[in-house]
């Protein structure tokens, strides 16, 4: 026992010394510059979540390309194919206003509304209904046991947070992490969270964020050590009384929910106690939870409805001052397109807006009813939870409903011509589908391609992924779930400090194997130090080269190599969060997103704009051809009728002339004959 302890201490010391040397070396060489624009840009977008991703793709991929194509709309080309003539400023202005207003407003409007609601109604309005239920039960339970702490918010929060976090750790790690060790860690997390709240209240935002980041990092390390290798280190399971299944969330969201819920609940409970010193705290907290769940539901619906309302106004804003369709400029005469039906539709739309835009007051009856409905497990509750906002970001189903149900129709209705309506259907359905489904599927597909080529595990697939072909297809194309491409935070967790896995480096190997990776490629093709020391381990403990060994041989050799200097050197390479493995995995998973944001989406949008332009040109050209043909058809019978009439008249004239001649001849003959007879008679006399 003593010898093992000494060896263990020596090995730890070796690892620490090697780690320090590696960090010093890294610090010395970091000034030479290893700036990776691909990773830097995608990390910045990733930190902003779905909102940042959507706005980035919308801004870079839609606004700029569409304004550019709008300026060149319907311009003529010279003999070299270069566009000449005046720019189409009207069309470009309309494109720019539409895209600039549409993307950011889907997130800025909810952000502004939630900020007002949190300040006026309470911070717990920013907590998901499912979290209000779980945290509310624990709050009522803890308050009933420690009523004396309610006046001291710091003391109450430390105890309450520790109780919640203990629940989370117990249900999110395996049975080997238990007892006092688990309780101490929960208590440590609780104290750090309270400390961060106090710093934030004192305007020390930097250190407050630092403390919260430490909580997240420490939690991820625990999950890495005490859960399955392929598990999501951010995931949290929280046991809820009366529920069969635990609440699934993530540590970052749980920490924020604790802060928002407890601050609101404590304030309301203490105000209640001031008025009712001997009041029933448990009963009041239950009513508060129901009421707050209701206001959360109404807040979600209110934010979503506000975005919907603004989206119905956007077409009116980008059409201001336009009396014709600028997309037809240069193709038809101004005002030639029919607008009668458009005027009628505008009047109907305005009438609808006047009757529809009415605010719903947060009355007690409506709020309580909404809260009770949301806290139940029925179908309506599931629908309401689908529309839950995550901060300023709406869920994927809510975004789909917004785009196809309340963004596309107003644009179609307010179109200035039939040609524009056709363009809207082609353009918007294609672009919405491409961004929400196509880009996601391609990202997952490219992740698989890079994984197969490199041996890295770059995504985690659902357990039912290989069930059948249609299941695979669904997992690749479903926007809100399916194949999970590892983000930068997850990559750092998986590919750094691999000694923290449950079985050390063998746990890392398990992660690679379970998710389509190749252990041999990872050991041999990335880092020279790792390759040399891995080969040394195989030589000393197995007698084979890595390329000739089976995966079982590699596992056994590295198990025997625990504590060896070669293994410690490998651990040292993985000890930094920006090691070669992390950077390579990040680059591969960010490459498609980078290319998509800066190249593929803009290129697709430019092609789509040109396709719509050509589609309209062809339609107008066809209409002109049909008009010419129709005119020719109408003109031809009239010409033929005139010709026939003229021919008839000529024939009639000729006939009449001939008859006149014949008549004259006959008359002359008759007279001559009469004269002859008369002269003869006269002479005979």
Q: Judge whether residue 357 has pLDDT over 50.
A: no
Distance CA 294, CA 125 (A): 9
pLDDT 10s digits, 178-218: 999 999 999 999 999 999 999 999 999 999 999 999 999 99
Scan for tokens 């947060």, then name that residue. Answer: 362
Beta strands in 381-533 (DSSP E): 459-460, 484-485
DSSP 79: T
pLDDT 10s digits, 284-339: 999 999 999 999 999 999 999 999 999 999 999 999 988 899 999 888 876 555 54
Q: Judge whether residue 76 has pLDDT over 80.
A: yes
Among residues 76, 55, 75, 59, the alpha carbon closest in space to that of 67 is found at: 59
Helical (H) or strand (E) element with 253 = helix 251-275
Stretch 661-672: mean pLDDT = 43
The lowest-confidence range among 348-362, 466-480, 486-500 is: 348-362
Predicted TM-score (pTM) of this structure: 0.78
pLDDT 10s digits, 176-187: 999 999 999 999
Stretch 610-638: mean pLDDT = 87
Q: Judge whether residue 522 has pLDDT over 60.
A: yes
CA atoms within 13 A on the CB side of 536: 14
Distance CA 407, CA 398 (A): 12
Distance CA 117, CA 391 (A): 12
Cβ neighbours of residue 277 under 8 Å, at least 6 residues apart? none
- CA angle (166 as vertex; 163, 167 as ends), nearest 5: 90
pLDDT 10s digits, 420-476: 999 999 999 998 898 888 888 888 999 999 999 999 999 998 888 888 888 888 888
The burial class, CB within 10 Å (0-12 / 13-18 / 19+), for 51 is buried
Q: Give me the chain's average pLDDT, please.
A: 83
Residue 652 — pLDDT band, cuts 50, 70, 90?
Answer: low
Among residues 500, 514, 579, the alpha carbon closest in space to that of 551 is found at: 514
The lowest-confidence range among 16-20, 71-75, 598-602 is: 16-20
Among residues 237, 230, 246, 221, the alpha carbon closest in space to that of 172 is found at: 237
The lowest-confidence range among 531-535, 545-549, 593-597, 632-636 is: 632-636
Distance CA 307, CA 317 (A): 15
Among residues 181, 139, 185, the alpha carbon closest in space to that of 160 is found at: 139
User: CA of 15: how far to CAs of 529, 569, 570, 610, in Å?
Assistant: 15, 7, 10, 60
For the stretch 340-374, what's the b/e string if a residue is b when 16 or more beta carbons lie within 10 angstroms of its beta carbon? eebeeebeebeeeeeeeeeeeebeeeebbebbebb
Stretch 548-570: mean pLDDT = 95
Is residue 423 within 8 A of residue 615, CB to CB? The reply is yes
pLDDT of residue 643: 55
Cβ neighbours of residue 230 under 8 Å, at least 6 residues apart? 460, 510, 511, 514, 515
Distance CA 197, CA 160 (A): 14
Per-residue HEC secondary structure of 284-336 comes to HHHHHHHHHHHHHHHHHHHHHHHHHHHHHHHHHHHCCCCCCCHHHECCECCCC
The burial class, CB within 10 Å (0-12 / 13-18 / 19+), for 378 is exposed
Distance CA 530, CA 582 (A): 14
Look at residue 329 and give its three-state secondary structure: strand
Is residue 188 within 8 A of residue 211, CB to CB? The reply is no
Per-residue HEC secondary structure of 414-444 comes to CCCCHHHHHHHHHHHHHHHHHHHHHHHHHHH
Helical (H) or strand (E) element with 660 = helix 601-684
Cβ neighbours of residue 427 under 8 Å, at least 6 residues apart? 608, 609, 612
pLDDT of residue 519: 96
Cβ neighbours of residue 466 under 8 Å, at least 6 residues apart? 472
Look at residue 231 and give its three-state secondary structure: coil
Stretch 469-495: mean pLDDT = 88
pLDDT 10s digits, 569-614: 999 999 999 899 999 999 999 888 888 878 888 899 999 999 999 9
Among residues 397, 375, 319, the alpha carbon closest in space to that of 101 is found at: 319
Stretch 636-641: mean pLDDT = 58
Backbone angles phi, psi at 56, to 5 degrees: -60, -50
At 212, list the tokens.
């919260």
pLDDT of residue 24: 46
Among residues 479, 433, 512, 486, the alpha carbon closest in space to that of 592 is found at: 486
Looking at per-residue pLDDT, the higher value among 480 and 199 belongs to 199
Among residues 362, 366, 363, 372, the alpha carbon closest in space to that of 287 is found at: 372
The lowest-confidence range among 84-93, 357-366, 433-442, 478-487 is: 357-366
pLDDT of residue 638: 58
pLDDT of residue 416: 92
Round to the nearest angstrom and report the end-to-end CA distance of the chain: 184
């Amino acid at each position: 026992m003593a010898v093992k302890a000494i060896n263990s201490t020596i090995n730890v010391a070796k690892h620490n010394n090697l780690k320090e040397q590696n960090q010093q070396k890294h610090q010395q060489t970091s000034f030479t510059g290893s700036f990776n624009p691909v990773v830097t840009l995608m990390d910045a977008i990733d930190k902003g979540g779905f909102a940042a991703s959507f706005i980035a793709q919308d801004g870079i991929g839609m606004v700029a390309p569409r304004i550019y194509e709008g300026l060149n709309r319907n311009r003529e080309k010279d003999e070299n194919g270069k566009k000449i003539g005046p720019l189409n400023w009207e069309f470009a202005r309309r494109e720019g206003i539409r895209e600039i207003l549409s993307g950011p407003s889907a997130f800025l409007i909810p952000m502004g509304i939630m900020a007002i609601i949190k300040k006026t109604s309470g911070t717990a309005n920013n907590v998901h209904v499912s979290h209000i239920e779980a945290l509310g039960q624990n709050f009522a339970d803890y308050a009933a046991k420690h009523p004396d702490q309610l006046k001291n918010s710091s003391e109450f929060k430390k105890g309450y947070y520790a109780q919640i976090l203990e629940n989370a750790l117990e249900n999110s790690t395996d049975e080997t992490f238990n007892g006092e060790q688990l309780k101490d860690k929960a208590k440590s997390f609780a104290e750090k969270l309270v400390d961060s709240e106090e710093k934030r209240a004192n305007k020390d935002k930097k250190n407050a964020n630092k403390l919260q980041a430490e909580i997240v990092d420490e939690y991820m390390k625990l999950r890495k050590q005490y859960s399955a290798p392929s598990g999501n280190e951010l995931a949290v399971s929280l046991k809820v009384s009366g529920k069969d299944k635990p609440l699934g969330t993530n540590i970052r969201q749980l920490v924020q929910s604790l802060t928002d819920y407890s601050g609101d609940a404590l304030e309301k409970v203490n105000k209640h106690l001031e008025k009712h010193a001997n009041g029933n705290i448990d009963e009041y907290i239950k009513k508060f939870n129901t009421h707050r769940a209701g206001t959360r539901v109404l807040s979600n619906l209110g934010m979503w409805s506000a975005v919907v309302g603004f989206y119905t106004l956007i077409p009116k804003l980008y059409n201001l001052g336009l009396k014709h369709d600028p997309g037809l400029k240069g193709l038809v005469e101004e005002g030639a397109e029919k607008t009668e039906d458009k005027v009628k539709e505008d009047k109907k739309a305005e009438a609808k807006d006047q009757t529809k835009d009415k605010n719903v007051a947060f009355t007690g009856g409506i709020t309580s009813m909404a809260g009770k409905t949301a806290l139940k497990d029925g179908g309506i509750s599931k629908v309401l939870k689908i529309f839950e906002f995550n901060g300023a970001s709406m869920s994927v189903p809510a975004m789909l409903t917004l785009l196809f149900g309340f963004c596309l129709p107003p644009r179609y209705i307010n179109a200035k011509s039939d040609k524009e309506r056709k363009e809207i259907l082609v353009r918007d359905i294609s672009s919405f589908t491409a961004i929400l489904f196509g880009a996601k599927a391609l990202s997952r597909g490219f992740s698989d391609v890079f994984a197969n080529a490199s041996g890295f595990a770059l995504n985690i697939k659902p357990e039912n992924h290989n069930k059948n072909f249609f299941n695979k297809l669904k997992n690749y194309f479903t926007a809100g779930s399916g194949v999970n491409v590892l983000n930068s935070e997850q990559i750092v967790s998986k590919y750094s400090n691999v000694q923290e896995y449950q079985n050390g480096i063998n746990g890392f190997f398990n992660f690679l194997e379970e998710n389509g990776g190749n252990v041999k490629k990872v050991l041999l093709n990335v880092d020279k130090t790792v390759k040399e020391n891995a080969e040394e381990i195989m030589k000393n403990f197995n007698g084979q080269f890595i390329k000739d060994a089976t995966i079982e041989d590699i596992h056994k050799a590295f198990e025997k190599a625990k504590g060896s200097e070669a293994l410690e050197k490998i651990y040292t390479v993985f000890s930094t969060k920006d090691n070669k493995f992390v950077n390579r995995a990040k680059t591969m998973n960010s490459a498609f997103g980078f290319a998509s944001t800066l190249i593929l989406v803009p290129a697709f949008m430019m092609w789509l704009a040109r396709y719509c332009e050509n589609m309209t040109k062809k339609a107008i050209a066809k209409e002109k051809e049909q008009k010419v043909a129709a005119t020719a058809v109408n003109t031809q019978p009239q010409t033929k009728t005139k010709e026939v009439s003229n021919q008839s008249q000529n024939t009639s004239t000729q006939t009449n002339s001939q008859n006149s001649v014949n008549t004259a001849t006959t008359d002359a003959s008759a007279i001559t004959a009469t004269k002859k007879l008369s002269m003869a008679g006269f002479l005979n006399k």
